[in-house]
């Protein structure tokens, strides 16, 4: 049942749109690394969607900025909305949480790169956090 649920999202001007279908273990997470904070203006909350579940509906204005050797950040070149992050050699579309129209059924999981978090806020007590990547600990 949940497997067939569809999620959609778009950018602020509507020229970039995507859809993805539900998959097992959907979990939102927030990256606190310096690069994500600079790029997004705060933390980068996202959902890693397997490529096979993800489709672009419209992406004529989508552009990528390569922010490091392994990472490209996709944004709408018209309105500037940050849409996705692509990491080299992994088969996931890392979708920005903010653009997903309705996140019903996708719980928040954890924070990562907490060692690079900003001084101006605290990660809520009791929420799971990792100093760097969750899969390294
Ligand atoms: Zn746009
Ligand atoms: Zn980050």
* Range of the structural domain that residue 80 is part of: 2-116
Give me the pLDDT at residue 4, please: 84
Kindly state the DSSP code that residue 115 receives in the 8-state scheme: G
The pTM for the full model equals: 0.93
The CA 108 to ligand 1 mean position distance, Å, reads 26
50: its two tokens: 């397997």
Give me the pLDDT at residue 46, please: 98
Mean confidence (pLDDT) of the chain: 95
Say if CB 3 and CB 12 are below 8 A apart. Answer: no
Q: Is the pLDDT of residue 2 over 60?
A: no
The fraction of the chain above a pLDDT of 70, given in percent, is: 98
The CA 95 to ligand 1 mean position distance, Å, reads 15
The CA 117 to ligand 2 mean position distance, Å, reads 10
Give me the pLDDT at residue 3, please: 59
69: its two tokens: 């050797």
Give residue-wise pLDDT tens across range 4-34.
899 999 999 999 999 999 999 999 999 999 9
Give me the pLDDT at residue 124, please: 95
**10 C-beta neighbours (distance < 10 Å), count:** 20
Protein residues near ligand 2, an ion, with CB under 5 A: 31, 33, 36
Kindly state the DSSP code that residue 121 receives in the 8-state scheme: -
The CA 79 to ligand 1 mean position distance, Å, reads 4
Q: What is the CATH number of the domain that holds 70?
A: 2.170.150.70
The CA 80 to ligand 1 mean position distance, Å, reads 6
Q: Which one, of 88, 105, 91, lies nearest residue 52 by Cα?
A: 91
Strands of the 62-66 sheet, one edge to the other: 62-66, 71-76, 82-87, 92-96, 44-50, 28-31, 108-112
The answer to whether position 55 is within a domain reads yes
Domains in the chain: how many in total?
1
The answer to whether position 79 is within a domain reads yes
Give residue-wise pLDDT tens across range 99-127.
999 999 999 999 999 999 999 999 999 99
Q: Is the pLDDT of residue 80 over 70?
A: yes
Give me the pLDDT at residue 37, please: 97
The answer to whether position 131 is within a domain reads no
The answer to whether position 127 is within a domain reads no
Q: In which band, very low, low, confident or very high, does the pLDDT at 136 lie, cut at 50, 70 and 90?
A: confident
């Amino acid at each position: 049942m949940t497997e067939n649920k569809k999620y959609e999202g778009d950018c602020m001007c509507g020229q970039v749109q995507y859809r993805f279908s539900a998959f097992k273990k959907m979990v939102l997470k927030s990256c606190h690394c310096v690069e994500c904070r600079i790029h997004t203006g705060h933390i980068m909350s996202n959902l890693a969607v397997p490529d096979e579940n993800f489709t672009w509906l419209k992406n004529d204005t989508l552009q990528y900025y390569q922010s490091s050797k392994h990472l490209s950040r996709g944004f709408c070149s018209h309105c500037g909305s940050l849409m996705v992050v692509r990491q080299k050699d992994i088969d996931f579309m890392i979708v920005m949480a903010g653009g997903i129209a309705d996140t019903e059924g996708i719980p928040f999981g954890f924070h990562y790169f907490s060692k690079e978090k900003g001084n101006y806020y605290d990660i809520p007590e009791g929420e799971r956090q990792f100093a760097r990547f969750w899969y390294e600990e």
